A and B are shown apart, each in its own frame.
Chain A
Amino acid sequence: MADKRMTEDEVVARLRPGMTIGIGGWGSRRKPMSLVRAIARSGLRDLTVVSYGGPDVGLLCAAGQVRRLIYAFVSLDSIPLEPHFQAARQSGAVEVTEYDEGMLQWALYAASLRLPFLPTRAGLGSDVMRLNPELRTVTSPYADAEELLAVPALALDAALIHLNRADMAGNAQFLGPDLYFDDLFAAAAERAYVSCERVVPTEDLAAAGGTQSLRIHRWMVDGVVEAPYGAHFTSCAPDYARDEEFQRAYVSAAKDPQAWQNFAATYLSGSESDYQAAVAGRRAVAGAAT
């Protein structure tokens, strides 16, 4: 099996301006944040970002790298609204395609199966149709003759996902309660890159979580990045919970330009190891105070 290990910066070197990039996870849960931070460092622009959105969307909006967002929501879960996403929308800085959650799943699923579309009721009668006038309906060829929404396939140039474990060939494992739609992001993409908490020998994978937890397969994957705490500050159960304190600091900084500048200087100006050191330092200070 091929050794697909690489660094975050090597992944980003394979991305290009204007690409359509899908980001796995859900809200503020198991987001490939070290890869997102690497994109933010790179200055890649004009991206179309596809996501069940959380701070991945927020950070890339804050860095001005997003031309279009394709999403059903953007949320930090324990804090319902994402401040950078709100600011980008309210200033008209990004173009958007807002879908129903299930439509987004269908769009990725259709792309992964090489189908032009998949039919659904979701979206009918709502402003999804008004706001996305390129959407078409399709009439069932059977006796029911129902007229359904044809969700167009959404092919990705690249997908970025973060899993708990992977081997060096790209077999990756979720150990938490939900895979989310990471397999569909990977399968809908021309190239998929997996970051993980730990790269382990293949023979250790099944014992850690059972074969049913091995849902990302090496045929889907082009690169593997070992990124401990790579999902920080989002959750990566069972390895770690969301860093709620850090997320609150992120949100309050995002609401004030000067505070955001300071936050970015502290956490986002250096490398990923600088970021992790700054976070560890913050934790040590908090620990000493209690």
Chain B
Amino acid sequence: MNDPAPATRAEVCAAACAEAWRGDGEILASPYGVIPAIGARLARATFEPDLLLSDGEAAFVTGCWPVGDPAPGPVEGWAPFRSVFDIAWAGQRHIMMSPSQIDRFGNTNISAIGDFARPTRELIGMRGAPGNTVCHPTSYWVARHSTRTFVPRVDVVCGVGYDNAAAAGPAASRFHALRRVVTNLAVLDFAAPEHTMRLVSVHPGVSVGEVVASTGFELVIDGDVAQTPMPGPDLLRLIREVIDPHLTRYREVPHEDE
């Protein structure tokens, strides 16, 4: 068999998203966005076979299926929204959300841009972000890493960051865990002394300077920054032939970004 063509940026991002769920075992993986959805299915198809996945409506389904297609099943559980709330508060879930703003402590905004009383741009609302972030592990996906998204201070705190979780006390910080932030440029986490955002790796073809210039606050950078691993031939075949044959990944991370 020929080696597949080298990984595109979108494929590097999907593999980096998959890594967010490594070690999670038998919990619900809840990806929001195309690249996170590819990542979650990739994780289950390879190194985290016990993850649970929703069909996007109200069922847990087994198997691996293309993004954009209905899940063929088989169904393994009924999961109406109410059950998903229960699972979230029980901590048996790791979500990956896509924020409109994120700051250095991992506070995120999906509610409104500008003054909340009269926003310049109203967004979707807090949704479950406040509860999710204080109840179970949370990661983030940002398709366009820029100073518009990576801001010194988010306009509305929806997802709770480390500073606000600590200030709110043990009930808020006890189960709070922000795992990683994957963007079209880099992988970041909060494994710095003050739980501020740290640059873990840059994607192939991206410089540290480019990430720094695209971030509206100071990142923790210790020593030489690694390169985000390229997905190997097995992962690439899974992405290309099984999980995303319709090429939906390029809607979030277009080829021309490379």
Contacts and interface: CB of A to CB of B under 8 A. Distances in A.
Interface of A: 26, 53, 71-75, 80-81, 85-86, 89-92, 98-103, 105, 120-131, 146-148, 177-181
A102 B90 CA distance: 13
A102 B118 contact: no
Greatest chain B CB density within 10 A among A26, A74, A177, A181 is at A177
A228 B117 CA distance: 39
Given A92-B118, A124-B172, A179-B80, A71 B129 contact: no
B127 to A, nearest CB: 5
Contact of A125 (B88, B116, B160): B160
Given A85-B122, A121-B134, 19 more contacts: A26-B81, A75-B124, A81-B123, A90-B119, A90-B120, A101-B85, A101-B128, A105-B82, A122-B128, A122-B130, A122-B134, A123-B130, A125-B172, A126-B126, A127-B111, A127-B116, A146-B171, A180-B80, A180-B81
A122 B82 contact: no
A126 B160 contact: yes
Interface stretch (B38-46, B162-170, B204-212, B221-229): B162-170
A102 B158 contact: no
Given A92-B118, A102-B88, A148-B171, A125 B164 contact: yes
Contacts of B134: 121-122, 124-125
B116 A103 contact: no
B122 A125 contact: no
B250 interface: no
Interface residues of B, number: 48
A130 B154 CA distance: 14
Nearest to A105: B85
B117 A74 contact: no
Given A127-B158, A180-B80, A98 B119 contact: no
Nearest to A100: B130
Given A147-B171, A178-B57, A100 B122 contact: no
Interface of B: 57-59, 78, 80-82, 85, 88-89, 111-112, 116-131, 133-135, 156-160, 164-165, 167-176
A84 to B, nearest CB: 11
Greatest chain B CB density within 10 A among A53, A125, A127 is at A125
B167 A122 contact: no
A39 B157 CA distance: 34
A86 B135 CA distance: 29
Nearest to B80: A178
Contact of B126 (A73, A89, A146): A73
Given A102-B85, A102-B89, A127-B157, A178 B126 contact: no
A128 B131 CA distance: 10
A89 B122 contact: yes
10 contacts: A72-B125, A81-B123, A90-B118, A98-B126, A100-B127, A100-B131, A101-B127, A102-B88, A103-B131, A105-B82
B33 to A, nearest CB: 11
Nearest to A88: B122
Nearest to A128: B130
Given A89-B112, A92-B118, A177-B58, A121 B175 contact: yes
Given A100-B131, A102-B85, A181-B82, A74 B124 contact: yes
Contact of A73 (B119, B121, B124, B164): B124
A105 to B, nearest CB: 6
B154 to A, nearest CB: 9
Contacts of A123: 130-131
Greatest chain A CB density within 10 A among B59, B118, B134 is at B134
Contact of A80 (B124, B165, B174): B124
Nearest to A123: B130
Nearest to B83: A178
A86 B122 contact: yes
A179 B57 CA distance: 12
Nearest to B88: A102
Contacts of A91: 118
